[in-house]
A and B are shown apart, each in its own frame.
Chain A
């Protein structure tokens, strides 16, 4: 399959090889970022852009971070806006100014240092670019944009402005994920040769229904249309519309496919996807999507299977699994879903336990012999281990802490826009592959910024 026409004129990127495109991923850490201009000890003055469900999740996480002052709240919906203002007032005893329009906010508010953007996906790029051009540091929720071109504009705006732009792939700052990436996979290589990746986000039908709304709280059509929504239903359920989002593969899958790409250190070389409207037949986006990515890694070929189902929670919710010749690491943002398995034939991990790198887990009781199974067909049960510790913070807090520490010049971003783009670029091609029922072999045109 060839890329759309809009990418054909990107000849200047053709000279870049795929290896170059993945250079940042190979390095595994964001580039050195600009020194911040907020002095240590000063409050970082923040505007909250988008105070819907995810905006509130981020706000609750930021409440625990010292030195953050919420100066303004922006949301086109008065209900969200007033709720956000009230939350800030309850937290810091100061009433921030509320805005319906981001342009008005940027023109009016003085002294802002940063914005936290959690608007619908199709607004991420315009809002991020505006704020970077206004000289503000940006924390923007993933997926970077509903289009790859929108995501590119964010990287270019970050580079041009010299400001920070962190994308909300919060697992990149999660201590458990960082530990697994650094210590278990790269340093101690407990999986041996990783041969397969597997991940899923399966969500029950009840959790995937359209979001309703109170008729008394309707937004006027004129305002909805001004901001790109056909009606209130589209405003509430933008995730299900093709022009406004990438659908479940980007809404849920982006987090986990990002982990594939981060942990492998290289971008995939191809994707082959399938999707359908199996239950929510009226929706524009697929309700169930499955994708297979192929990787060429320094240790060998790796195939990755990912599925996002919005029609069943079967299979244990959401997790990512890294399967190797000597071990398997199954990790999830839910700590209790994380388990590590040593293959029976692998060298002992006792020394790792002694050093504190792993903790022995409790093996379940072996199943009784079953007459309907041939014992010799089964592999020996793997030994179970656990991570040595966890962390007691909201899931998004470490990533926001990393952002504000970088604003203060005390850290480097864990997921700046360029690295986020390198990881997200393959995700933009899942839906096209599923729609055309064809594999896509990635070229620089597909993946380059």
Chain B
């Protein structure tokens, strides 16, 4: 084996690992972001007991525990939702739909990217999702969030650029 082909092979291995790492990062990020949409908190403590019986005032032990469940679902955070609703350029009719879809879409794309199912299309759709979020944040002047999403977009583009080195994929087509 010549040193040239050996170098090329090493380079390909590095690109394969790079592609895998970007895929794992983006997939994990999307999947857990979607799951977190179903997270909420419940008061951890029950009613405080006074003289051995639960108090009648509703005083509870301090603290809350994080829990997951459908009842906690919140696609767009409530604090941002009201700001979006007040934006004249926002498509008001689309907001409830977007709110309902956001969590499931993140989870779906997270799974497809992690498993390597139609990697290019999955990454492209994830990029579009981040663009939609970016547009919303631009409207309400959340510049830090826009920058944050910009970093995500760079990673999505890197993932797409290295798609030919993608390995360990369930469905390599598309």
Which A residues form the contact surface with B (CB < 8 A)? 56, 60, 79, 82-83, 86-87, 89-90, 93, 175-176, 178-179, 182-183, 335, 355-357, 387-392, 398
With A90-B95, A90-B96, A356-B50 in contact, do A390 and B82 touch (Cβ < 8 Å)? no
Name the one of B51, B60, B64, B82 contacting A83, with C-beta atoms under 8 angstroms. B82
- Name the 3 nearest CB pairs between A and B, nearest first: A389-B59, A389-B48, A86-B85
Interface string of B83-106 (1 = CB under 8 A from A): 001100000100110010000000
With A86-B92, A90-B96, A179-B57 in contact, do A388 and B85 touch (Cβ < 8 Å)? no
Interface string of B38-54 (1 = CB under 8 A from A): 00000101011111100
Q: Once the chains bind, are B82 and A87 in contact (CB under 8 Å)?
A: yes
Q: Once the chains bind, are A178 and B57 in contact (CB under 8 Å)?
A: yes
CB pairs A–B below 8 angstroms (23 shown): A56-B82, A82-B85, A83-B82, A83-B85, A83-B86, A86-B82, A86-B85, A89-B96, A90-B95, A93-B96, A176-B57, A176-B59, A179-B55, A356-B48, A356-B49, A356-B52, A389-B48, A389-B60, A390-B60, A390-B62, A391-B58, A391-B60, A398-B58
What residues on B are CB-neighbors of A392 within 8 Å? Answer: 43, 60, 64
**Min distance, Cβ B53 to any Cβ of chain A, angstroms:** 9
Closest to B44 in A: A392
| Complex: A163 Cα to B167 Cα, angstroms | 72
| Complex: A389 Cα to B61 Cα, angstroms | 5
| Complex: A178 Cα to B61 Cα, angstroms | 16
Which of A83, A86, A183 has the largest number of chain B CB atoms within 10 A? A86
Closest to A86 in B: B85
Q: With an 8 A cutoff between CB atoms, is B81 at the interface?
A: yes
What residues on B are CB-neighbors of A87 within 8 Å? Answer: 82, 85
Which B residues form the contact surface with A (CB < 8 A)? 43, 45, 47-52, 55, 57-62, 64, 78, 81-82, 85-86, 92, 95-96, 99
Q: Once the chains bind, are A390 and B59 in contact (CB under 8 Å)?
A: yes
Closest to B53 in A: A356
What residues on A are CB-neighbors of B64 within 8 Å? Answer: 392
**Min distance, Cβ A91 to any Cβ of chain B, angstroms:** 10
| Complex: A268 Cα to B62 Cα, angstroms | 36
What residues on B are CB-neighbors of A179 within 8 Å? Answer: 55, 57, 59
Closest to A392 in B: B43
| Complex: A398 Cα to B86 Cα, angstroms | 28
Q: Once the chains bind, are A391 and B85 in contact (CB under 8 Å)?
A: no
Closest to A180 in B: B57
Closest to B63 in A: A392
What residues on B are CB-neighbors of A388 within 8 Å? Answer: 48, 50, 55, 59
| Complex: A436 Cα to B167 Cα, angstroms | 84
What residues on B are CB-neighbors of A355 within 8 Å? Answer: 50-51
Closest to B78 in A: A60
| Complex: A56 Cα to B43 Cα, angstroms | 24
Q: Once the chains bind, are B92 and A175 in contact (CB under 8 Å)?
A: no
| Complex: A87 Cα to B95 Cα, angstroms | 11
**Min distance, Cβ B45 to any Cβ of chain A, angstroms:** 7
Which of A83, A178, A357, A392 has the largest number of chain B CB atoms within 10 A? A392
Q: Once the chains bind, are A387 and B58 in contact (CB under 8 Å)?
A: no
What residues on A are CB-neighbors of B78 within 8 Å? Answer: 60
Which of A56, A175, A355, A387 has the largest number of chain B CB atoms within 10 A? A175
| Complex: A387 Cα to B64 Cα, angstroms | 17
With A355-B51, A389-B62 in contact, do A175 and B57 touch (Cβ < 8 Å)? yes
What residues on A are CB-neighbors of B48 within 8 Å? Answer: 356, 388-389
**Min distance, Cβ B49 to any Cβ of chain A, angstroms:** 5
| Complex: A431 Cα to B172 Cα, angstroms | 77
What residues on B are CB-neighbors of A93 within 8 Å? Answer: 96
Q: Once the chains bind, are A389 and B45 in contact (CB under 8 Å)?
A: yes
What residues on A are CB-neighbors of B45 within 8 Å? Answer: 389
What residues on B are CB-neighbors of A389 within 8 Å? Answer: 45, 47-48, 55, 59-62
What residues on B are CB-neighbors of A182 within 8 Å? Answer: 57
What residues on A are CB-neighbors of B57 within 8 Å? Answer: 175-176, 178-179, 182
| Complex: A183 Cα to B86 Cα, angstroms | 46
Given contact pairs A175-B58, A356-B55, A389-B61, a sample of 6 additional A-B residue pairs in the complex whose CB atoms are under 8 Å apart: A87-B82, A89-B96, A388-B48, A391-B58, A391-B59, A392-B64
What residues on A are CB-neighbors of B47 within 8 Å? Answer: 389
